[in-house]
């Protein structure tokens, strides 16, 4: 298992005073070759902000030289306080150390092999007391373990540095001999050198056998031939688990026909099939021993992940966010059993979007930060997760953590403007689809800047329409709630003077259209008129939001590129419509009236439309990459 290092401030202070100018290059090679990562919390940045490499020419700052190697994760103050109470306020380490302990514990629960690097023995004893699960080692052992993985030409100088740091650690420990019993700490320091824990934690033969059987069962279900001895050990499990295959068959037959009625039918069909499959397998597994049941459940987790993800996306596309959250949480749990970082990342991202839709900023921040860590493990695009994490931390009034996320995102944007423009546009679309136009507008503005720089006219037109719709969907609450976000996200990208002028012209055109779309229709119709007089037959309208009043009538606010936003009053009934759906008209008649002052202010609509035959309305959910995301 790949090692994950959580590093405290004292380690960087030791390196600043002793490390040669080759150290960062040496450690970079090891970390990249072994796919290892260094994690810190924002408090570490604060503590070492002015620490410099004393043996280097020009004495650069340690933080600057390590910037590309560090992954910084913010920890909630509530988690820090909770750990302090668990340990005991008097005995607990300082807040920065507590944040590192919480982070190490979180990473360990994600299934990583986590080593907390610290020379503060209290962080070891307190972690054991709170049963946080990670292991610890002093900075000298950290350097020694990396030296063991380093090429021979670098190994000697890293070992030499390790010895010098160890001597400093010993001197400091001995200097405190009159303040506390140092024997336990010295024993821990020595044990960390001789245990060589990362190499000793190898799978036992039983573990290896279990992994082989799991793979054998999965291969059998996939129709492959396996060894006779594996087939014999599996017994009846292949036949018992056979019904699970019907889930993938069902998912492969899903189409991109996303009418609200079709979605509801497919959701119910999929849910019923899942229940039948689980019941069938569960009944046959019940008489077997615990190990057989665990083996089967582990092997089947991939199928369950795909099915729960599909159910979650269908529920999300239908506007049932709490139901979507339940399915996606189950998908995440299944993904952890298949050790699939991509699957976990995708499920966590979708959960993060749902948290944003519910304005649960603390939950969304943690989810997007988790998705970012998983993206780093598999070298997947990180930009959407960093931007969402930065937005969430900003809305929690955690300015420092928000700025750090945006600065890391800025580096990704500058490296690839074309890819960044696409990721930001897609994120803006996702935020519009969950009725967060204020957030969408800020992200789409940044996507517009990147797109201007790469010169994609087609993408500029798409973004212009998205920005127009986001402006139309904005409420007074959005404007107040997201104050200051523009300043934060402006740090994502930089425009030169010429690009700034071009951007200003583009936005001025959009603003003119926004103003035109805010004017109520002058002509209204009190008698029924063909719907084509208002909406061309081939046109589609995007749903901005849907609200049900006390009479159970539904106001659907829709947006058209030429007309702006209008409101449709629909009579009592279950319309199953939500933000992001696309509305098309067939042959019917409509009436048009001016909106009330209240509706105009709340929804920025130009008119209210009554529909004679509502059965001619067709609501379609956006595809949301549905089929692609549920395959494989």
pLDDT (tens digit per residue) in 137-146: 899 999 988 9
For range 338-347, the mean pLDDT: 76
Summary mean pLDDT of the chain: 83
Q: Whats the size of the chain, residue-wise? A: 632
Distance of CA 177 to the CA centre of its chain: 47
Per-residue pLDDT, averaged over 595-613, amounts to 83
Q: In the chain, what are the domain boundaries?
A: 3-200, 366-517, 525-620
- Asked if the model's pLDDT at residue 384 lies above 90, the reply is yes
Phi, psi of 611 (to 5 degrees): -110, 125
Place of tokens 């056979």: 242
Label residue 388 by pLDDT band (50, 70, 90): very high
Q: What is the pLDDT of residue 446?
A: 94
Please write the tens of the pLDDT for every residue from 269-286.
999 999 999 999 988 888
- With 60 as the cut, is the pLDDT of residue 1 above it? no
| Average pLDDT rounded to a whole number, residues 222-235 | 83
The predicted model gives 71-77 an average pLDDT of 82
pLDDT in tens, 468-513: 888 877 766 666 666 788 889 988 998 898 989 999 998 898 888 8
More confident residue, 409 or 548: 409
Q: Do domains 3-200 and 525-620 have the same CATH topology?
A: no
CATH 3.40.50.300 fits 525-620, yes or no: no
Tokens describing residue 387: 């931007």
Helices (H), 149-259: 152-175, 183-195, 197-200, 205-221, 228-234, 237-241, 245-252
**Among the listed ranges 94-108, 189-203, 340-354, which one has the minimum average pLDDT value?**
189-203
Q: Which residue has the higher pLDDT, 279 or 225?
A: 279
Q: What percent of the chain has pLDDT over 90?
A: 23
Is residue 235 scored above 90 in pLDDT?
A: no
Mean local confidence (pLDDT), 376-402: 89
Of the CATH numbers 3.90.550.10, 2.30.110.10, 3.30.40.230, 3.40.50.1010, which one belongs to the domain with range 3-200?
A: 3.40.50.1010
CA distances from 593 to 423, 522, 557, 577 (A): 40, 9, 14, 23
**Taking Cα atoms as reference points, which of 25, 119, 36 lies closest to residue 71?**
36
Read off the pLDDT of each residue in 12-35 and give the average, rounded to a whole number: 90
DSSP code string of 583-596 = EEE-S-EEEEEPPP
Distances (CA, A) of 381 to 116, 249, 295: 27, 30, 33
Pick 317 or 526 by higher pLDDT: 526
Residue 20 reports pLDDT greater than 80: yes
**Regarding predicted confidence, which is higher, 103 or 521?**
103
Nearest alpha carbon to residue 354 among 392, 395, 324, 394 = 324
């Amino acid at each position: 298992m790949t090692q994950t290092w959580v590093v405290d401030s004292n380690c960087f202070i030791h390196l600043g005073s002793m490390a040669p100018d080759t150290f960062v290059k040496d450690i970079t090679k090891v970390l990249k070759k072994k796919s290892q990562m260094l994690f810190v919390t924002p408090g570490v940045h604060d503590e070492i902000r002015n620490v410099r490499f004393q043996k280097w020419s020009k004495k650069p700052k340690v933080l600057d030289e390590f910037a590309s190697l560090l992954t910084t994760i913010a920890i909630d103050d509530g988690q820090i306080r909770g750990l302090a109470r668990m340990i005991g306020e008097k005995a607990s380490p300082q807040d920065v150390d507590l944040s590192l302990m919480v982070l190490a514990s979180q990473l360990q629960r994600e299934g990583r092999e986590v080593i907390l690097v610290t020379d503060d023995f209290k962080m070891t004893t307190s972690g054991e007391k709170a049963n946080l699960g990670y292991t610890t080692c002093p900075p000298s052992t950290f350097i020694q373990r990396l030296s063991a993985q380093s090429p021979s030409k670098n190994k000697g100088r890293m070992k030499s540095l390790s010895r010098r740091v160890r001597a400093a650690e010993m001197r400091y420990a001995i200097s405190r001999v009159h303040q506390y019993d140092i024997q336990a700490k010295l024993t821990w320091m020595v044990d960390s050198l001789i245990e060589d824990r990362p190499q000793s934690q190898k799978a036992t033969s039983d573990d290896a056998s279990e992994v082989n059987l799991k793979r054998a069962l999965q291969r059998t279900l996939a129709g492959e031939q396996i060894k006779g001895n594996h087939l014999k050990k599996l017994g009846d499990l292949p036949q018992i688990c056979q019904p699970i295959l019907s889930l993938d068959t069902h998912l492969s037959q899903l189409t991109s026909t996303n009418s609200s009625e079709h979605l509801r039918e497919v959701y119910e069909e999929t849910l019923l099939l899942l229940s039948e499959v689980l019941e069938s397998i569960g009944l046959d597994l019940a008489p077997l021993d615990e190990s057989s049941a665990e083996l089967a459940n582990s092997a089947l987790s991939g199928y369950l992940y795909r099915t729960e993800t599909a159910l979650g996306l269908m529920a999300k596309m239908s506007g049932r966010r709490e139901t979507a959250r339940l399915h996606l949480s189950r998908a995440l749990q299944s993904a952890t059993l298949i050790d699939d970082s991509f699957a976990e990342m995708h499920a966590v991202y979708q959960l993060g979007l749902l948290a944003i839709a519910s304005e649960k900023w603390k939950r969304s921040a943690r989810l997007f930060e988790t998705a970012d860590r998983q993206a780093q493990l598999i070298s997947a695009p990180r930009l959407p997760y960093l931007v969402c994490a930065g937005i969430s931390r900003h809305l929690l009034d955690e300015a420092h953590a928000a700025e750090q996320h945006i600065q890391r995102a800025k580096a990704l944007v500058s490296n690839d403007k074309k890819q960044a423009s696409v990721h930001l546009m897609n994120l803006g679309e996702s935020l519009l689809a969950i009725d967060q136009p204020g957030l969408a507008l800020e992200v789409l503005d940044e996507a517009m800047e990147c797109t201007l720089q790469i010169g994609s006219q087609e993408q500029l037109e798409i973004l212009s329409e998205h920005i127009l719709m986001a402006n139309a969907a904005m409420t007074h609450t959005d404007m107040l709630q997201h104050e200051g976000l523009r300043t934060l996200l402006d740090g994502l990208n930089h425009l030169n003077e010429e690009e700034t002028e071009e951007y200003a012209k583009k936005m001025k055109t959009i603003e003119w259209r926004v103003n035109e779309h805010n004017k109520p229709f002058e002509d209204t119709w009190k008698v029924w008129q063909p719907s084509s007089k208002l909406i061309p037959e081939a046109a589609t309208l995007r749903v901005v939001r849907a609200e049900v009043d006390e009479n159970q009538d539904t106001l659907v606010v829709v947006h058209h590129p030429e007309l702006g936003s209008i409101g449709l009053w629909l009579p009592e009934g279950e319309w199953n419509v939500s933000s992001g759906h696309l509305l098309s008209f067939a042959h019917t008649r409509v009436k048009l009236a001016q909106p009330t002052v209240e509706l105009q202010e709340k929804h920025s609509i130009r008119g209210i439309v009554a529909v004679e035959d509502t059965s001619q309305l067709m609501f379609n959910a956006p595809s949301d990459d549905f089929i692609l995301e549920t395959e494989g």
